[in-house]
């Protein structure tokens, strides 16, 4: 079919009927390009059509449970097994699997970029902007307490830790490795 449109583009000016087909091809090319750009800008949503909905539900549970390990009702896992499997295969989440029960222990949010993705879908922009601003302006040697940031900004602790992890990965600070504690010291 591509060969046909190539010929039509070449002959478009010479034959009146072909010019409308050239216009049609241009619109199809534009739509295809837009879809490709959307996939590059938001690759997570394009894994499965239900991922944005599932992500909002995951964030709602994150706000309530305030933990990176989340539990849901069995219906959630059966209803959203395909998008969850796709998120799991890409290592955005990790299912706590057991023989006979794929999500026996729930799911763990293991990728900070996925946590930022669900925040972009479901959290207030002002809160996230404040958090990023605070961390970005952290001077070398200054300590940030993640638990206090969580309370001050009314954000779940895993969200705070995800932002701090991202800043640490860029060499801008050091995140403590203590279990149950979220401390960060600015480096640059």
Q: What is the pLDDT of residues 85-122, one digit of tens each?
A: 999 999 999 998 777 777 888 999 999 999 999 999 99
The pair of structure tokens assigned to 15 is 């034959």
Task: Give a yes or no: residue 114 inside a domain.
Answer: no
Instruction: Give yes or no for residue 33 having a pLDDT over 70.
Output: no
CATH assignment at residue 133: 1.10.10.10
Task: Give a yes or no: residue 10 inside a domain.
Answer: yes
Asked whether residue 37 falls in the same domain as residue 50, the answer is no
Mapping DSSP onto H, E and C, the string for the chain reads: CHHHHHHHHHHCCCCHHHHHHHHHHHHHHHHHHHHHHHHHHCCCHHHCCCHHHHHHHHHHHHHHHCCCEECCCHHHHHHCHHHHHHHHHCCCEEECCECCECCCCCEEECCHHHHHHHHHHHCCHHHHHHHHHHHHCCCECCEEEHHHHHHHHCCCHHHHHHHHHHHHHCCCEEECCCCCCCEEEECC
Task: Give a yes or no: residue 23 inside a domain.
Answer: yes
pLDDT band at residue 40 using 50, 70 and 90 as cut-offs:
very low
Task: Give a yes or no: residue 117 inside a domain.
Answer: no
Give the residue from 85, 109, 133 where a domain finishes: 109
Residues spanned by the domain of 104: 46-109
Task: Give a yes or no: residue 116 inside a domain.
Answer: no
Match 């969850």 to its residue by tokens.
Answer: 84
Task: Give a yes or no: residue 115 inside a domain.
Answer: no
Q: State pLDDT tens for residues 137-154.
A: 999 999 999 999 999 999
Q: What is the mean pLDDT of the chain?
A: 84
pLDDT the model gives residue 103? 84
Instruction: Give yes or no for residue 167 having a pLDDT over 50.
Output: yes
Give the residue from 57, 78, 109 where a domain finishes: 109
Instruction: Give yes or no for residue 43 having a pLDDT over 60.
Output: yes
Task: Give a yes or no: residue 52 inside a domain.
Answer: yes
Q: Quick check: pTM over 0.85?
A: no
């Amino acid at each position: 079919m591509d060969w046909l449109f190539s010929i039509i583009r070449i002959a478009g000016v010479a034959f009146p009927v072909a010019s409308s087909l050239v216009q049609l091809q241009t619109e199809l090319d534009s739509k295809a390009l837009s879809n490709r750009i959307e996939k590059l800008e938001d690759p997570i949503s394009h894994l499965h059509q239900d991922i944005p909905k599932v992500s909002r539900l995951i964030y709602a549970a994150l706000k309530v449970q305030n933990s990176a390990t989340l539990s849901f009702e069995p219906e959630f896992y059966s209803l959203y097994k395909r998008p969850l499997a796709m998120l799991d295969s890409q290592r955005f989440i990790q299912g706590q699997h057991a023989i006979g029960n794929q999500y026996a222990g729930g799911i763990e949010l293991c990728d900070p970029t996925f946590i930022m993705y669900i925040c972009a879908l479901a959290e207030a922009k002002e809160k996230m902007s404040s958090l990023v601003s605070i961390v970005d302006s952290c001077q070398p040697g200054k300590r940030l307490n993640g638990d206090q940031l969580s309370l001050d900004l009314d954000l779940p602790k895993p969200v705070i830790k995800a932002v701090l992890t991202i800043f640490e990965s860029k060499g801008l600070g050091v995140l403590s490795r203590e279990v149950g504690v979220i401390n960060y010291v600015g480096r640059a």
